[in-house]
């Protein structure tokens, strides 16, 4: 089903391609545990240790990293759900957290777990979300059906409770929820993790179309190298809260002298750790 060009993404594509949509500058985040009445010892866990990168308007950018590398923390900061400790974050020129109300109107997010009211139907969940963004029922429902159609979601399941749906179907509804609000910026936190191959392909194709046709800026986190290469123009490698490398897939391959992105990641993060060990050994000797 064809989608009207104006329904998703930017109202106008006449935007300078060099404009920056997401700017992350030296962002640091630490989580502290303990320190209460019973536990006096405070432990610190650094989630982000000075991450900087820009995502240009209409660009797709992937952040790759293993579990615990800080990907989701970064997405939560951009989604206004977490406050960073140091550094600067801007979305479409709006600084966080000062302009979080405005940022919330222009950011859509899909997370790894499709979080819904499981007893409610797809229609009810999507209408609830649309109402929160001030949309009317009739237009929201018709847009939801359109997007779901493009994603290959069976129309006859629209009124079924989420608890009766597969994970792939739930994730398609999650993507629809994010796109219903017409966001210029889309944050995708491992959107295809755990999906069956067919659903994964449907979702990836749809995201490619959204990016190409509607100029949506996409920040994708994943540990699927192939997905990142397919969907994104540039890739940043995140390890232990630090951005260790950034560039196109080809640039990263050349830099790491590796044939595929899996090897690139292992080589680049591994070399860094080896180097640190060598440096430490050198100091000791």
Using CB under 8 A, list all residues that contact another protein: 31-32, 73, 76, 79-83, 97, 101, 104-105, 107, 109, 111, 113, 115-120, 124, 127-129, 131-136, 161, 177
| Shortest spacing between CB 81 and another protein, in angstroms | 5
| Shortest spacing between CB 158 and another protein, in angstroms | 14
The DSSP code sequence of 166-200 is -HHHHHHHHHHHHHHT--SEEEEESTTTT--HHHH
Torsions phi, psi of 119, nearest 5? Answer: -80, -15
| In contact, 197 and 26? CB cutoff 8 Å | no
Proportion of the chain in helix, strand, coil states, percent, rounded to 5: 40, 25, 35
Q: Rounded distance, CA 64 to CA 242, Å?
A: 11
Q: Rounded distance, CA 148 to CA 159, Å?
A: 13
Choice between 116 and 206, CB closer to another protein: 116
Choice between 129 and 269, CB closer to another protein: 129
Choice between 3 and 111, CB closer to another protein: 111
Choice between 40 and 284, CB closer to another protein: 40
Contacts of 245 (CB under 8 A, 6+ apart): 236, 237, 252, 255, 256, 264, 268
Choice between 39 and 119, CB closer to another protein: 119
| Shortest spacing between CB 263 and another protein, in angstroms | 33
| Shortest spacing between CB 2 and another protein, in angstroms | 28
- Closest among 139, 140, 210 to 177, alpha carbons compared: 140
| Shortest spacing between CB 29 and another protein, in angstroms | 8
**8-state DSSP, 128:** H
């Amino acid at each position: 089903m064809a989608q009207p060009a104006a329904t998703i993404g930017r109202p106008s594509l006449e935007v300078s391609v060099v404009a920056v949509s997401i700017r992350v500058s030296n962002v640091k985040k630490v989580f502290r545990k303990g320190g209460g009445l019973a536990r006096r010892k405070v432990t610190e866990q650094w989630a982000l240790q000075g991450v900087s990168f820009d995502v240009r308007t209409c660009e797709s950018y992937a952040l790759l990293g293993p579990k615990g590398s800080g990907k989701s923390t970064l997405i939560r900061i951009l989604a206004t759900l977490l406050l960073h400790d140091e550094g600067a974050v801007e979305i479409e020129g709006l600084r966080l957290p000062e302009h979080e109300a405005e940022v919330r109107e222009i950011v859509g997010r899909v997370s790894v777990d499709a979080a819904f009211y499981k007893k409610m139907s797809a229609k009810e969940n999507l209408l609830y979300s649309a109402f929160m963004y001030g949309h009317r029922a009739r237009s929201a429902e018709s847009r939801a059906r359109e997007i779901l159609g493009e994603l290959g979601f069976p129309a006859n399941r629209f009124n079924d409770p989420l608890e009766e749906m597969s994970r792939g179907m739930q994730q398609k509804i999650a993507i629809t929820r994010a796109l219903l609000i017409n966001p210029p910026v889309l944050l995708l936190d491992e959107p295809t993790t755990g999906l069956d191959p067919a659903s994964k392909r449907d979702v990836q194709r749809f995201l490619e179309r959204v990016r190409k046709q509607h100029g949506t800026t996409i920040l994708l986190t994943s540990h699927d190298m192939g997905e990142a290469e397919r969907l994104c123009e540039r890739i940043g490698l995140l390890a232990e809260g630090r951005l260790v490398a950034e560039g196109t897939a080809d640039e990263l391959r050349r830099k790491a002298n590796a044939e595929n992105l899996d090897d690139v990641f292992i080589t680049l993060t591994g070399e860094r750790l080896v180097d640190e060990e060598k440096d430490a050994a050198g100091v000791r000797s």
